[in-house]
Amino acid sequence: MSKNLKPKSQLRVLLAQTFKERLAKIGGVIVFAILALVLFGPFFAPYAFDEFIDMPNAPRSSTLLLGADDLGRDVFSRFLNGGRSIIGLSFISTVLGVGLGLLIGLFAASAKQRTDSLIMRFNDILLAFPQIVFVLLVVSGFGSSIFLIALAVGFTHAPRTARIIRAAAAEVMERDFIKAAIAVGEKRHRIILSELLPNVTSPLLVEFGLRMTYSIGLVAAVSFLGLGLQPPAADWGLMINENRGAVTVQPWGVLTPIAAIALFTIGVNFITDSFAKVAIGIDRKGKE
Amino acid sequence: MNKVREFFNQGGLLLFVLGRIIAGIPIVLALSVLVFLATQALPGDAAVAYLTNTATPERLEAIREQLHLNDPIWQQYTRWAWDALHLDFGMTLTGESTVNELLSERIKNTLILMATSGIVAMPLSILIGVIAAVRRGKAFDNISSVITLIFAAIPEFVVAIIIIFVLATNVFQIFPAISFLDPGTLAWSEPMSLVLPTLTLVLAVTPYVSRIMRGSMIEVMESEYIQMARLKGLSERTVILRHALPNAIAPTIQVIALQLAWLAGGVVVVEAVFAYPGIGTIMIESVKGQDLPVVQAITLMIATLYVTLNILADIGTILTTPRLRTKYARKNDNSDVFAAMGGDE
């Protein structure tokens, strides 16, 4: 049976085609560079991220590549250390949220119509909370901890992913091989895992890329608002908040994290969009 | 307009609209339960937060009694929901004012910001989408495609900071970086304070609508009736404006509504960046101060606004799509429209 082989090779072909697109190449280079910076950057930091080494907002000098921040710590060292939390938390929340949404979407699509519409109605209710509002609601109710924030961000992704996956899976459910599988008496979980799942990988990957950019925006915003990582942690979102007041004197404490966040999200979006064009052939709809 | 009335007269459509509105009621009810529960799990105690440092066991007990915190949770919920239904959200946790007093001016400011953003963004996105579609594959299309992709990616608070950097502090100093507004004044009395927050939100929603508009317009331009209009010898301008544009907008309405609804959440962080005196700024302050009555009220308002906009979008789509219009004028069944409308956003 080709069913185990075909989707995989198809995906490989799609990815190869994606990276033939110019934007995807640019995006790939950007994402690769930022990931390398996030992973290996801390080893090259000249100072500790919480070490006071100069006057607050000291300008650039031969020893301080990007000057000092609002409390006199090395901006460059804090920048090198500040990506792990945001990228890591975003990745975790994206995996959790898209994973949960995938399960709900596949379950709903393969369920009886009544169960399906019950799940999706409940899903619609969750969709009424804008993501940042829901995250803030949770933070106000449970207090702010970074893992709670990762969970909350992931949780807000789930109903949005579920809707996309359900729509894609519902189309697959109409196809003959599913009907054949049901007729043969295959178990529900077998149908979900080995028939449905391989046939929704393209929308799933698009969803993952999209949700990753939103995760970064949400996680960074929560830190920026002072509700995420707490000082003296080095975190790009927090850095922007801390150094915003002195941006006219010492712009680097704001500019470097801003540039890194912007470039990373742009890179991810370039790849996602190219893949969506190659694999699905349509533009995505609005953000939620 | 006559056509619209005609369909309402046929009854089916009116039933659909009514059905859609009634279907919104249990959703809002469920939202209120969720909002209430999400804020009840707090390990701390509202009475402690209320009294902060002055808490003694006796006073705590008195406050718990006063705030009905000893009642079973469902009683607390029904009391809260019943009051909320009458638009009464009680006192803020600081006890200095009612939630309504605190929010009334700020709601107006937020609605002003959402309205100016929507009014600028929607025609702009439609214009960009139409030009990109008409000049498909040419320079404008390619450049706008990359730019919209970039602005779709960058988180809006990052866009806000970049805008402040360029237009308010470091490069140019044209607009104020912070919205200075006297308490009690509305935002349009200080139009300068609206410019940068509006610009941020416009940059956040325009990419999505313009891309959908472009796709929809391309589809319409390739249709037979547009070819027909061209063969009749109509000018390209008439073909685009009179024949293609109205038909291309209909499928975009859902996305427009989705983006307007998104604005309700998007304003929160953007307001906070600019210290704009709307419900977003106060929400952040209330989250920090764990002022639950305020957080509950704002969350419920935003979620209800979202549901309302979605209902309006469904109705708008039906009214602007002849095929659906006749379908629902003819038969009074709207169960599957509910699914069809919501299912593929």
* Range with the poorest average pLDDT among A97-101, B114-118, B177-181: B177-181
**B286·A140 Cβ contact <8 A:** yes
Q: Which residues of chain B are within 8 Å of residue A130 when distances are taken between CB atoms? A: 261-262, 264-266, 268, 302, 306
Query: In the predicted model, what is the mean pLDDT of residues B6-12?
Result: 61
Whether B147 has its CB under 8 Å from any CB of chain A: the answer is no
Q: Which residues of chain A are within 8 Å of residue B265 when distances are taken between CB atoms? A: 129-133
DSSP class per residue in B64-114: HHHTTTTS-HHHHHHHHHHHHHTT---B-TTSSSBHHHHHHHHHHHHHHHH
Query: In the predicted model, what is the mean pLDDT of residues A81-98?
Result: 94
Q: Which of A161-170, A180-189, B186-195 has the highest mean pLDDT?
A: A161-170
In whole angstroms, how far apart are CA A265 and each of A156, B121, B270, B295, B320?
Answer: 19, 22, 18, 30, 36
State yes or no: pLDDT of A219 exceeds 60. yes
Query: In the predicted model, what is the mean pLDDT of residues B151-169?
Result: 91
State yes or no: pLDDT of B339 exceeds 50. no
ipTM of the complex in this document: 0.88
State yes or no: pLDDT of A162 exceeds 70. yes
According to the model, what pLDDT value does residue B262 have? 85
Contacts of A218 (CB under 8 A, 6+ apart): A90, A93, A131, A132, A135, A153, A156, B155
CA angle A174, A179, A185 (to 5 degrees): 145
**A136·B150 Cβ contact <8 A:** no
DSSP class per residue in chain A: --TTTHHHHHHHHHHHHHTTSHHHHHHHHHHHHHHHHHHHGGGG-SS-TT-B-SSTT----SS-TT-B-TTSBBHHHHHHHTHHHHHHHHHHHHHHHHHHHHHHHHHHHHS-HHHHHHHHHHHHHHHTS-HHHHHHHHHHHH---HHHHHHHHHHHHHHHHHHHHHHHHHHHHTSHHHHHHHHHT--HHHIIIIIIGGGGHHHHHHHHHHHHHHHHHHHHHHHHTTSSS-TT---HHHHHHHHGGGTTT-THHHHHHHHHHHHHHHHHHHHHHHHHHHHT-S------
According to the model, what pLDDT value does residue A260 have? 95
Whether A273 has its CB under 8 Å from any CB of chain B: the answer is yes
Whether A266 has its CB under 8 Å from any CB of chain B: the answer is yes
Of the pLDDT bands very low, low, confident and very high (cuts 50, 70, 90), residue B254 is confident
Domain boundaries, chain A: 23-37+67-285
**A133·B266 Cβ contact <8 A:** no
**B258·A288 Cβ contact <8 A:** yes
State yes or no: pLDDT of A215 exceeds 90. yes
* Range with the poorest average pLDDT among A67-71, B4-8, B15-19, B317-321: B4-8
Mean pLDDT of chain A: 87
Residue ranges of B 168-197 with Cβ closer than 8 A to chain A: 169-170
Rg (CA), chain A: 22
The pLDDT tens digits for A6-34 are: 555 678 888 888 888 889 999 999 999 99
**Which amino acid is present at A262?**
A
Provide the token pair at A24.
């995807």
* Range with the poorest average pLDDT among A59-73, B294-308, B329-343: B329-343
The pLDDT tens digits for B274-294 are: 988 889 998 998 888 878 888
- How far apart are the C-alpha atoms of A239 and A64, rounded to whole Å? 17
- Min Cα–Cα distance to chain A from B305, Å: 9
- How far apart are the C-alpha atoms of B81 and B100, rounded to whole Å? 15
Which CATH number is associated with domain A23-37+67-285? 1.10.3720.10
Confidence (pTM): 0.87
Whether B73 has its CB under 8 Å from any CB of chain A: the answer is no
According to the model, what pLDDT value does residue B175 have? 85
Of the pLDDT bands very low, low, confident and very high (cuts 50, 70, 90), residue B9 is low
Q: Shortest CB distance from A221 goes to which of B146, B269, B298? A: B269
- How far apart are the C-alpha atoms of A129 and A288, rounded to whole Å? 9
Residue ranges of B 76-115 with Cβ closer than 8 A to chain A: none
Which residue has better confidence, B113 or B253? B113
**A262·B161 Cβ contact <8 A:** no
Of the pLDDT bands very low, low, confident and very high (cuts 50, 70, 90), residue B344 is very low
Whether B307 has its CB under 8 Å from any CB of chain A: the answer is yes
State yes or no: pLDDT of B322 exceeds 70. no
